[in-house]
Amino acid sequence: KQEVTQIPAALSVPEGENLVLNCSFTDSAIYNLQWFRQDPGKGLTSLLLIQSSQREQTSGRLNASLDKSSGRSTLYIAASQPGDSATYLCAVGGAQKLVFGQGTRLTINP
């Protein structure tokens, strides 16, 4: 059974800092890994999708890496802004479904 863990559960940093969010998973037989952003009471916004054959993906200030052998992914956010405050969810794609971590609640302080 796939299990996904995100550490830390919450993170608060001053504006402008670079930061890393961590995601680990127990079964390396995955199709893909997807990072999402969720604002309070809202749905999920897809940030980055990494296929199992890829090592990383970049979009703007975001960079996500994938290391299947160690069961880890990281989301790197450069030059953080108050608008980046949200919960970030990592999800591992298997047959038919995504398995989610519990998320990291990120607060960027002006």
- Structure token digits, residue 46: 């897809």
Is 45 a binding residue for other proteins by CB under 8 A? The answer is: yes
Binding-site member from 21, 35, 36, 80 for other proteins (CB under 8 A): 36
Q: Which is nearer to other proteins, 2 or 15 (CB)?
A: 2
Which of 15, 22, 27, 32 binds other proteins (CB under 8 A)? It is: 32
The 3-state secondary structure of 66-83, one letter per residue: EECCCCEEEEEECCCCHH
Is the Cβ of residue 41 or residue 110 nearer to other proteins in the bound state? 41
Of 56-95, binders to other proteins (CB under 8 A) are 89, 91, 93-95
What is the distance between the alpha carbons of residues 38 and 18, in angstroms, rounded to a whole number? 20
Torsion of CA 59, 102, 6, 8, to 10 degrees: 100
- Please state the φ and ψ torsions of residue 55, each to the nearest 5 degrees: -105, -30
Footprint of other proteins on this chain (CB under 8 A)? 4, 31-32, 34, 36, 41-46, 49, 51, 89, 91, 93-103
